[in-house]
Chains A and B, each alone.
Chain A
Amino acid sequence: MIDFKNVTKIYGGEVKAVDDITMSVNEGEFVILLGPSGCGKTTLLRMVNQLETITDGEINVNGQNVKEMDKIKMRRNIGYVIQSNGLFPNMTIEKNTMIVPDLLGWDRKKKRDRFNYLMDLIGLNPDEYRKRYPHELSGGQQQRIGVARAMASDPPVMLMDEPFGALDPIIREKVQDEFLTIQKEVKKTILFVSHDIDEAVKMGDKISLLRQGQIMQYASPTEMLHRPKNDFVSEFIGKDRVLRSMSLYTVNDLVEALGLKSKEEDIQDTKEITIDTSLRVALSMLLNKEADELLITDDQGEAHGSLTFDLIETFINREVRGA
């Protein structure tokens, strides 16, 4: 869907912001461009919709070279979200959201229906917000509108430049979760810039870790956490990468791989959690001494067995160390 071929960006004839990058993003894939500031991730993103010129190399979107496309037309067909949402204070929420459909000349009825659909999708009441103005909304709400706006004309590709970076941690988590749910439904091809490894691991199907304009590793989060390609990668993802990787699994993954211990009657100190709980949460509960064993139940509340510290250790050995 998006193919980068030997893409290079040089500023002012000297500074290489992006250095010979070749990678491809498949249709429906959620790819994170991750890296420290100044690694060229935003420049790479902005070259896709030609907000930055391409010094050398070629970017193809849907098999078409972006350089040969009409800039204005192609931008209307690519969703774009930035960190400080970029909503226009002079327009109502409905107007803001429907900018691209407006530019494309949709009729009123079609725009209204689309607005209602999008607002339902992001969990805001369309009639309550239609006539309101951006500054009347909280930061989290504004950012959600920013996402809705990018999806307004239902573009197949979305570019997101640290869209949740300015939100406080609690709201960010929530908006991230919501966006993942939305993505499951809409299946967009997404290029997403982030500097936050936790966000990258949580959101991405694949992560492209950049440094000084070059790709250090392009792999799935599991692959990157478990098999970092070089020192920079392992340093960037941190010493706690094993712990971090636990958030990629749910208790269910462990059950499928190892099964559970049958519940012992004599152990009093247990706590119930559901089978789709993240393994990271389960591990934290055990470490916190909240319980010696965790009683795993499914959606119907039926008990499956107990999860213990030993079981998680075995699982880690298996998955992480690749045993």
Chain B
Amino acid sequence: MMNSKKIIAYIVRITLWALVIAFFWWAISENMFDKIFNEPETFKGLLTAHIQLTVISAGLAILTSLPLGILITRPWFRKSEWLIVNIANLGQTIPSLAVLALAMSFLGIGMPTAIVALYVYSLLPVLQNTIAGLDSVQPEMKDAAKGMGMTPLQILFRVELPNASSSILAGIRTAVVLNIGTAALAYLIGGGGLGVWIFTGIQLYDNQTLISGAIPVTLLAVLVDFIFRGLQYVLVPKGNRLATKAVTD
């Protein structure tokens, strides 16, 4: 059983990598990345703008959602949890393009508008995972902490947050990676970023421009995902990692 599953997984992985290599082979042999090398300054500008869009919006979203998630899981706020989660959910049900359009109708065009839209769009994954993580801490653990004379703040920082860290970091990772992709849409409201080349490429049927914009976005998302997985390894306490491993093995 185990072996056939493993073999299938290997085949899938090898096929995927083969496809990726084939694609790059084709792209490089057709000089698809020439635009990057011909216009390095423009590329740098677009890439910087793209990273700015992502980092600022995701950063603000984390700064909002993390404290908010902590706040509404406190006993005296419990009753308002559904309300806030529903509001955040609403933000997520609206398509990203519509969020951009709505933001534009209030704030006009430009990068700040794109940042606001992306910010609204990243709130939910972080909030949801913060709440889920804090809720998953066993009540017995909190009871023991309280019974031993920990203050509410000590319980939060020594017991709840460390034990929720895996889930919270996964939420942040999801938000940031999603954000990198969504930031390509910023072009549509004049927000800049690598979306400029992607959409220009689409409109002009120009594969070279399209791919010179799309591939860096993809690589950026993959790289950031990888970095966050590493970060999870560093930030999640060893005991929790071992415990999860014991469950999944």
Type the 1/0 row for A44-78, where 1 means its CB is closer than 8 Å to any CB of B.
Answer: 00000101000000000000000000011111110
B residues in contact with A134, CB < 8 Å: 239, 243
State A81–B238 Cα separation when bound (angstroms).
25
- Which one of A73, A85, A91, A149 lies within 8 Å of B149 (CB-CB)? A73
Check B66 for interface membership: any CB of A closer than 8 A.
no
State A259–B144 Cα separation when bound (angstroms).
50
State which of B143, B237, B238, B243 has its C-beta within 8 Å of the C-beta of A86.
B143
What are 8 sample pairs from A and B whose C-beta atoms fall under 8 A apart? A51-B147, A80-B147, A86-B144, A89-B239, A91-B237, A133-B242, A135-B239, A135-B246
The answer to whether B140 and A133 have CB atoms under 8 Å apart is no
| Given A82-B144, A86-B143, A133-B243, residue A72 in contact with residue B163 (CB < 8 A) | no
Docked-complex contact A133 and B239, CB < 8 angstroms: yes
Is A232 interfacial (CB-CB < 8 Å)? no
A100/B162 contact (C-beta < 8 A), A86-B141, A86-B144 known: no
Contacts of B146 in A (CB 8 A): 51, 75
Chain B contacts for A100, CB-based, 8 A: 148-149
B144 to chain A: closest residue by CB: A86
Contacts A88-B159, A88-B163 known; A75 to B147 CB distance under 8 Å? yes
**A259–B158 Cα gap in the complex (Å)?**
60
Q: CA of A159 to CA of B144 in the docked complex: distance in angstroms?
A: 11
Query: What residues on B are CB-neighbors of A133 within 8 Å?
Result: 238-239, 242-243
| Cα distance A213–B144 in the bound complex, in angstroms | 24
Q: Tell me whether A135 and B144 are in contact in the complex, defined as CB-CB below 8 angstroms, given that A75-B149, A88-B159, A103-B154 are known contacts.
A: no
Closest to A135 in B: B243
The smallest beta-carbon distance between A56 and chain B, in angstroms, is: 23
Q: Which residue, of A49, A85, A88, A100, has the highest number of chain B Cβ atoms within 10 A?
A: A88
Q: Output the residue of A74, A77, A103, A159 with the most chain B CB within 10 A.
A: A103
B151 sits at the interface (CB 8 A): yes
* Residues of chain A contacted by B144 (CB below 8 angstroms): 80, 82, 85-87
Minimal Cβ-Cβ distance residue in A for B242 = A133
**Interface: B150 (CB within 8 A):** yes
Name the one of B148, B159, B240 contacting A80, with C-beta atoms under 8 angstroms.
B148
How far apart sit A229 and B237, CA to CA, in the bound complex (Å)? 54
A27 at interface, CB cutoff 8 A: no
Checking B138, B147, B237 against A90 with a beta-carbon cut-off of 8 angstroms, the contacting residue is: B237
Inside 8 A of B143's CB, which chain A residues have their CB? 51, 82, 86
Check B163–A99 contact: CB distance below 8 A: no
A74–B150 Cα distance when bound, in Å, is 11
Cα–Cα, bound, A82→B237 (Å): 24
**Chain A contacts with B in 124-139, Cβ cutoff 8 A:** 133-136
Q: Report how many residues on chain A are interfacial, defined by Cβ distance under 8 Å.
A: 30
User: What is the CA–CA distance of A80 and B140 in the complex, to the nearest angstrom?
Assistant: 12
Q: Which residues of A contact B147 (CB under 8 A)?
A: 49, 51, 75, 80, 82, 159
- Interface majority SS on B: helix, strand, loop or mixed? helix
B148 touches A103 (CB 8 A): yes
CA distance A74 to B147 in the complex (A): 10
Q: Tell me whether A103 and B150 are in contact (CB under 8 A).
A: yes
Residue of A nearest to B239 (CB): A133
- Closest Cβ neighbor of A91 among chain B residues: B239
- B:61-82 near A, CB below 8 Å: none
Q: Which of B144-174 contact A (CB under 8 A)?
A: 144-151, 154, 158-159, 162-163
Known: A80-B147, A88-B141, A100-B148. 14 other contacts (CB 8 A): A71-B149, A73-B149, A77-B149, A82-B140, A82-B144, A86-B138, A89-B240, A90-B237, A90-B240, A91-B239, A99-B150, A103-B150, A135-B242, A136-B242
A262 and B19 CA atoms in complex are apart in Å by 93
Q: Assess whether A89 is in contact with B243, with CB atoms less than 8 Å apart.
A: yes
Instruction: Tell me the complex Cα distance, A136–B163, Å.
Output: 16
- Chain B nearest CB from A313 CB (Å) reads 48
Report the bound CA distance from A103 to B150 in whole Å. 7
Q: How far is the CB of A50 from chain B (nearest CB, A)?
A: 9
How far apart sit A88 and B165, CA to CA, in the bound complex (Å)?
Answer: 14
Interface assignment of A176: CB less than 8 Å from any CB of chain B: no
Contacts of A75 in B (CB 8 A): 146-149
Question: Do B239 and A92 touch across chains, with their CB atoms under 8 A apart?
Answer: yes
Contacts of B149 in A (CB 8 A): 71-77, 100, 103
* Docked pose: A73 CA to B138 CA in angstroms: 24
Q: Which residues of A contact B138 (CB under 8 A)?
A: 84, 86
* CB neighbours of A51 from chain B (8 A): 143, 146-147
A-side contacts of B140, CB under 8 Å:
82-84, 86
- CA distance in complex: A163, B3 (Å): 43
* Contact B154–A90 (Cβ < 8 Å): no
A100 and B150 alpha carbons, distance in the complex (Å): 8
Q: Nearest chain-B residue to A136 (Cβ)?
A: B242
A75–B28 alpha-carbon span in the complex (Å)? 69
Which residue of chain A has the shortest Cβ distance to B141 in the bound complex? Answer: A86
A101 nearest CB across to chain B (Å): 11
